[in-house]
Amino acid sequence: MYTIKGKKFPCRSSVTMNIIGGKWKTVILFHLMEGALRYNELRKKMSSVTERTLSLQLKDLEEDSVIERKVYTSKPPLKVEYSLTDFGKTLIPLLLAIADWGGYVVEKYSDE
């Protein structure tokens, strides 16, 4: 049993899935591997996600220290950028492996 931030996990993989699990978190992280993006840039890349869901997923990733939210207030309009933290960058090999495995599944089971 593992305890992180007061929450108990039965195994290390459940710790990982708690941080990156869900339909949109890995998609967000995959886009941020390319570099920092503004909220609207993420929305354009992920057109089928609702604004509420995207905002909540970004907030979760920020709370888990995987991404950083940087606000630029020097001149209007307000500019907000999201980027991977150093901790978040440690997920890159895992994200690439997940994408590779997804490619394998598509090749093997695709209806097309």
pLDDT digits (tens, 9 = 90+) for 2-42: 998 888 999 999 999 999 998 999 999 999 999 999 999 99
CA 98 vs. chain centroid, Å, equals: 13
> For residue 17, is it within any domain?
no
Q: For residues 104 and 96, is the Cβ–Cβ distance under 8 A? A: no
- Whether a cis peptide bond, with omega within 30° of 0, leads into 93 is no
The residues with which 68 forms a beta bridge, in sequence order, are 83
> For residue 89, is it within any domain?
yes
> For residue 1, is it within any domain?
no
Structure tokens at 107: 């090749």
pLDDT in tens, 79-108: 899 999 999 999 999 999 999 999 999 999
What is the pTM for the complete model shown? 0.89
Domain of 87 in residue numbering reads as 23-109
